[in-house]
A and B are shown apart, each in its own frame.
Chain A
Amino acid sequence: MNKINNYLYTVPKWLLFFFGVIFTNVLFAQDAKPEMADLMRSNGKIYVVVAVCLTILIGLFVYVFLLDRKISRMEKENN
Chain B
Amino acid sequence: MEIPRLFILNETIRNLYFHVCMWFGMMILFGTSFVYSIKYLRGFSLRNDIFAHQFAAVGSFFGILGYATGTIWANYTWVTDQSQSLGSILKEPKLIGAAIALLIYGAYFVLRGSFTDIDKKARVSAVYNIFAFAMLFPSIWIIPRLVGSLHPGAPGSESGNPALNFKDIDSRLRMVFYPAVIGWTLLGVWITTLKIRLQLFQDKSLINE
Contact = CB atoms under 8 A, between A and B. Distances in A.
Contacts of B198: 67, 70-71, 74
Given A48-B12, A64-B191, 5 more contacts: A41-B76, A44-B11, A46-B10, A52-B73, A74-B198
Interface residues of B, number: 25
Contacts of A16: none
B76 A56 contact: no
A48 B65 contact: no
Contacts of A48: 11-12, 15, 72-73, 76-77
Interface residues of A, number: 21
B15 A52 contact: yes
20 contacts: A41-B76, A44-B11, A45-B12, A46-B11, A48-B12, A48-B73, A48-B76, A48-B77, A49-B11, A49-B12, A49-B18, A51-B72, A53-B18, A55-B68, A55-B69, A56-B65, A59-B61, A59-B65, A59-B68, A67-B195
- Report whether over half of chain B's contact residues are helix, strand or loop; otherwise say mixed: helix
A41 B9 CA distance: 10
